[in-house]
Structure 1
Amino acid sequence: MTEAQSPRPTTDEILAECPRFRVLVVGRSGVGKSSLINYAFGINLATVAHGKRGTCNIEDEIISPHNDHFVLHDSMGFEPGNTEEFRKATEFFKSRGKKVPLKDRVHAIWLCIKVPHAGSRVFETGDEEFLKLAATAKGNLAFCNNRAAAYALNIAVPVVVVFTQFDVLYSGMEMALTEEEMKLPDQGQRLCSQRAEDEFKKICLPPLHNIDPTPRYARTSGLGANNSPDRSALADLIRTTLHLLGETSGFVGKIFTSAQNRETVWITSAIAQRGSAQANIDGSIKIGMKKYWRGIASSTRFPGFKLEKCLNTLHIDIVTAWNFSDANKLLRGTAFVEKMRTITQVVVPREDELKDWFDSVKNVVGAAGTVSAATHPIMFPIVAGIGLSGIFINWLATVYKRTPETLRLFMGYIIDLTLVLDQLFVIVLALGPPKLLTQTEIDEALNKYTSDAMNTVHAEIRDYCNEATFSQICRSNRAEERIKELIRNHRVKWEETKPQV
């Protein structure tokens, strides 16, 4: 082993097997597929796909330069009386089933159905036949004919029904408000939301359950006046898709021949999407737990490697999991890496060593931050204006050892970087597809994390990793659980806010 060697990033292995999440989107013209794809995967579909009916070929691989971990196949939907699109779709499914390599299979299908007006038909005949295929694949044979069952033996693919343009239903409820209801804006909004929800359940769900008693569905809204989608609904669609891909029993086993294949596709899909920060966090955790996070206090993966090389590997895996549109590779650049190390270095030394580590920096002590009300206060160096400590740089050049300092380093770097990227995710939402990343957004995310959460996070890491409990932590190998807990407690909770309509 040479000094230049580093542990191999887990994402290299995963993406070598399945570099792109392959999704088939089925939907008639005007249903809102383009907006859905643009915001779910952070691309500009108009720049890479044909927009006119008649030019779309389901076999075409639509790959965007804005997100190279995603490939789209587009089916124009099943118009009344047109059986050709349905025939093409079923043949396509058969050609992209489990008999082909994992990277070439269709991994998920989104069937887009526009929320209808009251009294309108929800599903056309072709949509119903399509859903029967999916139902047969899950084993609901009673709802399907033999022809569909025969097809499904070769085309078992996770299907999510996406009801689009829910906001139109909401707008209809707004127009029906009485004068008395309109006088109370907050009350009126609540009434519209509830009535739209009730109407959706009344007109959309019964026909779906008649085809498949255990469907997977989500709903989305179109673009509002501020040109932004319903982020909560979009995140729900992504969570629904990932949950279906991650199922360990049922028909998913017909698609993925091994648990490893299933996890690989799940991680690739989590990387590809750009609509749910929680999915990025979950993907980052799954990537880390495959090798380097599990038993991180007493790692069998890091010994023999220098600490700096280990940090490089963690950095690559976490940044890759978030898949920002980062054409200039700013998140992998030296400047960003140095800023992240500047943040994490603060949590590494013991409290009595803080002055020695940072004695070259003025005013190193005095920033707010205490471990807890039940313990004595621990003062942390001010991050703004601090460079990398010489002692810290020299320490990173040493080989991995099982010490409290090393545990604080890895816990701190994983949590710090994840929470900075979580802040960055929320910031770039305002940019819209393709959400090109600049240094301005990165600096804003760094500033928000260091001013809002860093001191508390570091205090809680110190609480957990103190010398008195280090040996117990090594024996239990549960430090990764504390990492996940701290990320969960301190991440931005934007997805839990009230849905827009």
Structure 2
Amino acid sequence: MANHIHTSSSPSVLHISGISIDFSKSEKHVESAEARIGGLQKPFQAERDSGKLLRQTFSPPIGFSLGDTFCLQLRYKKRFRKSREDIQFDFNDILRASDMRGEHGGREYHKSHDNIKIVVGLSGNTITEHSEPSASTSDTTLELQPTTDEIIRICPRFRILVIGKTGVGKTSLINRAFGVHEAMASTHKPGEADIDHEFVSLQNDRFVLHDSKGFEPGEESNVNIVRDFIGRRRNMAELKDQLHAVWLCFEIPRAGGRLLETGTEDFLTLKRKGLLGNIPVVVVFTKYDRFMNRVNRTLDDSSSAGLDPDALKQLIKDKADKHLKEICIDPLEKFAGSDIPHATVSTGTGHEESLARLIQITEERVCEHVASEASVMTSIAQRVDPGLKIKASIDVGKRRYWKTLASCASFQDRTTLDCLRVLHVDIVAVWNFHDPNEYLESKEFKTMVVNMVDNLDIGPTTNPVRAAAVGLSTVAAIAGIVSALAGPAAPIVVPVAASIVVAKWVYDVYQLSGVVLQRFIAYIVDLTLILQTLYLVSDNQELSRRTIKLAVASYHGSPTIGQVHSRIQGYDRKLTFLERADRDTLDRIVELMELYRIDAREISALRAQIPTVDSVPDEPW
């Protein structure tokens, strides 16, 4: 039966009066907790009540509106290291599940997470109501909203400041990290930079760049300019206007060269003393490939004699890393300490892993010191690490829809088509392709994915040979198929037609069943792995229908789809225990995505096997 909200009008705001966290039965030792509710960027610091209980009250209560995000961030020690975990709350879940057990006549919402008991207190005047809707209004009249809509509302772009001298490689770094072609090229003359200028690329509008020249010897003015800029941004009320990260760039010096000039030391001193706030600063050592070439030229013949190419490459890398530690890492850590992270990068072909590592470090620090929305936007904006895209998709999915597929908490009384729409929008938004024609949001592309899922046979696998081909490398198989299909001679034929959707199940109202659950898992995983293949073949170029069809046909023809669908069919459903079913469903989605994701280390090798995809002229669906 539909769970309608029987109030005199449709509720719009819940008033949160306090939160308590009881971890007495958990193995995790929670040190602190922070809450982010709606657009508030003033997280509270919970005070310890007694033993293993944290409690915080809000006076006056904080309003939590329909459509707002509500995240509780726990920080705890785990195996001698500090960890962080975000727990998301849903407006409708709180509204439906809260009861009259609170103090002073208020309501309470109870949530359990890894044996941690969380109680959200709601004030006596719990609900603020709209006066316009009629008494028959129910939650089915409210349109399903993609989770990424709210994230983008709070933080539409990843905002980064890049500091470095002319020639250090800032432009190439930004171009490769964010998949654009013109970063800073038309904005400033060499050696000039206006730190307040906001550069937003038409090829990737999910990041905004601020540029600063480096710190010259004996020059204090730019240190003051940067300090003032960071301070002004730190004091801005909205997360979208705040600075999210700083990259401090150095070219790896030659032997005997000095890494840290006086101005740089002054800047790092400000950071070390906490005068720049919590803004993450990552030191970036650039042009690592040139450094390795210099090291290669210094090798004597005796040390490299008789080595095969792979062994010689490893010898050069080991020697380069040893010198790098001596001339860069040790001086940095001696002056700045170990709290300022560093990454060594090259923008040359074959070094995508170094760029991915820089992005991973940045995303981790943004998540820890800024906000979860900003860390998700870091992952969305970057275009070097497909694994981080999958991680962000999982983070977004966990916030709302993926975690309630089995219990229908979010999708009840909705058509399957409406439910698939929000899942589709969230996944596509995270991958952030250069798609000005919105082909990935087209009816034709969505139909291809639906028809692919429609081929999921419920019961025994129809093609056990293909499904059992676990030993065949997934990425190598896809690379081979792409190579065979990518020639310019003939149009690409997609085995799943992009015609009008005919599958009846997408028009049905979402109802919990094993078949429906399998199809939803398949849609999420198939769409994600198609986009991963598209990332491989598009190489950050503007998307065409031909390129998208190539990705779909390659995934459909690979052993991966058989393996994925076979694993989904073997899912042991215990749907009578809805809490467990939800958790198991989420775990299965995460497991499949992690199992078939392409690592950044494989990207350059794979692309070397794939011919350039000719997308001009384009072809119809």
Give your verdict on TM over 0.5. yes
1:15-62 deviation per Cα after TM superposition (whole angstroms, max 9, x unaligned) = 111101100000000000001000111112357642413542000001
Given the alignment, which residue of 58, 79, 93 partners 2:216? 79
SS at match of 1:67: coil
What CA deviation, in whole Å up to 9, does each residue of 1:202-238 have, x standing for no partner? 1111111122232211110143xxxx36100000000
Residue 214 of structure 1 is aligned with which of 331, 339, 349? 339
Paired letter, 1:80 = P
- Which stretch shifts more, 390-399 or 287-296? 390-399
Deviations 1:305-347 (A, max 9, x none): 1100000110000000000111111111111111111111122
CA distance in 2, matches of 1:496, 1:385: 27
User: Over residues 66-88 of structure 1, what are the superposed CA-to-partner deviations in whole Å (9 max), with x where a residue is unaligned?
Assistant: 11111000001111122221111
Structure 2 contact 178–204 (Cα < 8 Å) conserved: yes
Q: Distance in 1 between matches of 2:604 and 2:385?
A: 15
Distance in 2 (CA, whole Å) between partners of 1:239 and 1:65 is: 24
* CA distance in structure 1 between the aligned counterparts of 2:572 and 2:449, rounded to whole angstroms: 20
Q: CA deviation at 1:403?
A: 0.5
Aligned to 1:144: none
Q: How far off is 1:129 after superposition?
A: 1.4
Candidates 223, 227, 240, aligned match of 1:103: 240
1:189 corresponding residue in structure 2: 313
Q: Residues 168 and 371 of structure 1: is their aligned pair in 2 closer, same or farther, counting only changes over 3 Å? A: closer
| Residue ranges of structure 1 left out of the alignment (5+ in a row) | 138-150, 257-261, 355-364, 374-382
Cα distance change, pair 403–19 in 1 and its aligned pair in 2 (3 A): same
- 3-state DSSP class of the match of 2:570? helix
Aligned ranges 1:330-349 → 2 under 5 Å: 330-347=439-456
The CA deviation string for residues 386-429 of structure 1, in whole angstroms up to 9 with x for no partner, is: 54899962221111111111111110011001111111112223
Name the amino acid aligned to 1:218: A
Report sequence identity in percent.
34
Match of 2:546, SS state, is helix
1:315 aligns to 2:436 (yes or no): no
Establish whether residue 351 from structure 1 lines up as the match of residue 459 from structure 2: yes
Match of 1:234 in 2: 355
Q: CA deviation at 1:446?
A: 1.2
The 5 Å alignment of 1:265-414 reads: 265-347=374-456, 350-351=458-459, 368-370=465-467, 385-387=495-497, 393-414=503-524
Aligned residues: 442
- Separation in 1, partners of 2:159, 2:551: 31
1:442 aligns with 2:442: no
3-state SS of paired residue (2:403): coil
Contact between 2:494 and 2:549, CA under 8 Å: does it hold in 1? no
Q: 2:88 corresponds to which residue?
A: none
Counterpart in the other structure of 1:360:
none
Partners of 1:37 and 1:45 within 8 A in 2 = no
Post-superposition CA distance 1:165-208 (Å, at most 9, x none): 11122111211222341553333222111100111111111111
Q: Residue type matched to 1:440 in 2?
A: R
For normalisation by structure 2, the TM-score amounts to 0.67
**SS of aligned partner of 2:167:** coil
Distance 1:370 1:75, change over 3 A: closer
Tell me the secondary structure at the aligned position of residue 298 of structure 1.
Answer: coil
Q: Secondary structure at the match of 1:109?
A: strand
| Aligned AA (1:477) | D
Which secondary structure state, in structure 2, belongs to the residue aligned with residue 294 of structure 1?
helix
For residues 380 and 446 of structure 2, what CA distance do their matches in structure 1 show? 21
* 8 Å contact kept, 1:308–1:396: yes
SS at structure 1 position matched to 2:253: coil
- Relative to structure 1, the CA distance from residue 305 to residue 135 in structure 2 (aligned partners, 3 Å threshold; closer, same or farther) is same
Amino acid at match of 1:221: S
Q: Distance in 2 between matches of 1:239 and 1:101?
A: 24
CA distance in 2, matches of 1:494, 1:59: 33
Identify which of 416, 423, 428 aligns with 2:526. 416
1:118: Cα distance to partner? 1.3
SS of 1:100's equivalent in the other structure is: coil
**What letter matches 2:541 in structure 1?**
K
RCO higher in structure (CA 8 A, sep ≥6): 1
C-alpha separation between the residues in 1 aligned to 2:346 and 2:332? 19
- In structure 2, how many angstroms separate the alpha carbons of the residues matched to 1:15 and 1:63? 15
Greater mean alpha carbon deviation, residues 396-405 or residues 230-239: 396-405
CA distance in structure 1 between the aligned counterparts of 2:377 and 2:191, rounded to whole angstroms: 31
Aligned CA distance change for structure 1 residues 300 and 389 (closer, same or farther; 3 Å): farther
Q: Report the alpha carbon displacement of residue 384 of structure 1 after superposing the two structures with TM.
A: 5.5
Higher normalized helix content (fraction of residues): 1
My pick for the range that moved more, 176-185 or 455-464, is 176-185
1:141 aligns with none
Q: Counterpart amino acid of 1:18?
A: C
Q: Distance in 1 between matches of 2:203 and 2:185?
A: 10
SS of the residue 1:53 aligns to: coil
Output the amino acid matched with 2:363: L
Normalising to structure 1: TM-score of the pair?
A: 0.82
Give the superposition deviation at 1:11.
0.8
C-alpha distance 229-43 of structure 1, shift in aligned 2 (>3 A): farther
**1:176 and 1:335, CA in 2 relative to 1: closer, same or farther beyond 3 A?**
same
Partner Cα separation in structure 2 for residue 15 and residue 173 of structure 1: 45
Supply the distance in 1 between the matched residues of 2:451 and 2:508 (Cα, whole angstroms).
18
Residues 320 and 496 of structure 1: is their aligned pair in 2 closer, same or farther, counting only changes over 3 Å? same
1:124-273 equivalent positions in 2, closer than 5 A: 124-137=261-274, 151-152=275-276, 155-180=277-302, 181=304, 184=307, 185-210=309-334, 211-223=336-348, 228=349, 230-247=351-368, 252=369, 256=370, 262-273=371-382
Amino acid at match of 1:304: D
Q: Give per-residue Cα distances to partners, 1:252-308, cap 9 Å, x unaligned.
A: 2xxx4xxxxx11111111111111111111111111111101132113111121100
CA distance in 1, matches of 2:432, 2:153: 16
RMSD of the TM alignment (CA)? 2.7
- Equivalent residue number for residue 52 of structure 1: 189
Q: d(CA) in 2 for partners of 1:27 and 1:83?
A: 15
- Structure with bigger strand share is 2
Task: Say yes or no: does 1:62 pair with 2:187.
Answer: no
C-alpha distance in structure 1 between counterparts of 2:161 and 2:392, whole Å = 22
User: C-alpha separation between the residues in 2 aligned to 1:367 and 1:390?
Assistant: 30
Retained in 2: the 8 A contact 1:412–1:458?
yes
Distance change in 2, residues 1:367/1:15 (3 Å): same
